[in-house]
Structure 1
Amino acid sequence: MMKKYIVTVIGISWLVTGIVFLNPETALNNFSVIMLIPLIITMIFNKADNKKSRNDISILKRPFNLKAMVFSCLYPIFFILTCGFLAVLFTQGVIHLPAKPVTWIVTILVTIFIGLFSALGEEYGWRGYLLPNLTKQYGKKKAVVITGLVWALYHIPTVYLVARLTGLGNPLLVCVVQAGVVFLSNFAFSYCYYLSGSVIPVIIYHSIWNTFNTALLGNLYTGKAGIIDGNIFLINGEGVLGLLLAIVPLVFFWRKYDNGMEREK
Structure 2
Amino acid sequence: MTVTGSGKLTAWATIVIFLIILTAISAVGHFAIVELAPVSIYVGALMWCPAVAGFLSLKITGRKIASLPWGGGNWRDNIQSYLVPVAYVSMSYVIAWSLGFGGAFDSDTISEWSAELGLSDTPIQGAVLMVALLATIQFAKSLGTIAGEEIGWRGFFIWELRKVLPFGGVALFSGIVWSVWHYPIVIKYGFGDPVFQIACFTLMITSMSVIMAYYTFRSNSLWPAVMFHGAHNIYVQKIYTPLTTRNDQTRFWIDEYGLIVPVIVTIMAICYWRRAKAEGM
TM-score bracket, shorter-length normalisation: 0.7 to 0.9
Number of the residue aligned with 2:47:
35
Do structure 1's residue 227 and structure 2's residue 227 form an aligned pair?
Answer: no
Instruction: Return the offset for 1:60.
Output: 5.3
Q: Match for 1:189: what amino acid?
A: M
Do structure 1's residue 247 and structure 2's residue 261 form an aligned pair?
Answer: no
Answer with 1 or 2: which has the greater Rg: 2
Number of the residue aligned with 1:195:
218
1:198 aligned counterpart, secondary structure: coil
Question: Which of 36, 59, 64 is 2:68 aligned to?
Answer: 59
Return the alpha-carbon distance in structure 1 between the equivalents of residues 90 and 263 of structure 2.
14
Return the alpha-carbon distance in structure 2 between the equivalents of residues 7 and 179 of structure 1.
21
Return the alpha-carbon distance in structure 1 between the equivalents of residues 186 and 204 of structure 2.
12
Once the two structures are overlaid, the 10-residue window that deviates more, 253-262 or 106-115, is: 253-262
Moved over 6 A (4+): none
Q: What RMSD in Å do the two structures reach over aligned CA positions?
A: 2.2
> CA distance change for structure 1 residues 141 and 107 in 2, over 3 Å: closer, same or farther?
closer
Return the alpha-carbon distance in structure 1 between the equivalents of residues 78 and 40 of structure 2.
31
> CA distance change for structure 1 residues 6 and 261 in 2, over 3 Å: closer, same or farther?
farther
Number of the residue aligned with 1:223:
none
Question: Which of 167, 186, 191 is 1:140 aligned to?
Answer: 167
Instruction: Return the offset for 1:242.
Output: 1.1
> CA distance change for structure 1 residues 252 and 108 in 2, over 3 Å: closer, same or farther?
closer
> CA distance change for structure 1 residues 233 and 138 in 2, over 3 Å: closer, same or farther?
same
Q: Match for 2:97: what amino acid?
A: V
Do structure 1's residue 12 and structure 2's residue 25 form an aligned pair?
Answer: yes
2:32–2:42 CA contact under 8 A, matched in 1: no
Return the alpha-carbon distance in structure 2 between the equivalents of residues 207 and 64 of structure 1.
17
Q: Match for 2:243: what amino acid?
A: I
Alignment deviations for residues 72-119 of structure 1 (CA, whole Å, 9 cap, x no partner):
121010011101110111111211263202243123321100110111
Tell me the TM-score normalised to structure 2 length: 0.79
2:245 aligned counterpart, secondary structure: strand
Number of the residue aligned with 1:95:
104
> CA distance change for structure 1 residues 4 and 56 in 2, over 3 Å: closer, same or farther?
closer
Question: Which of 28, 42, 47 is 2:59 aligned to?
Answer: 47
Uncovered stretches (5+) of structure 2, i.e. residues with no partner: 1-13, 111-122
Question: Which of 81, 87, 92 is 1:78 aligned to?
Answer: 87
Do structure 1's residue 109 and structure 2's residue 121 form an aligned pair?
Answer: no
Percent identity (aligned): 17
Instruction: Return the offset for 1:48.
Output: 3.4
Instruction: Return the offset for 1:188.
Output: 1.3
Return the alpha-carbon distance in structure 2 between the equivalents of residues 132 and 47 of structure 1.
16
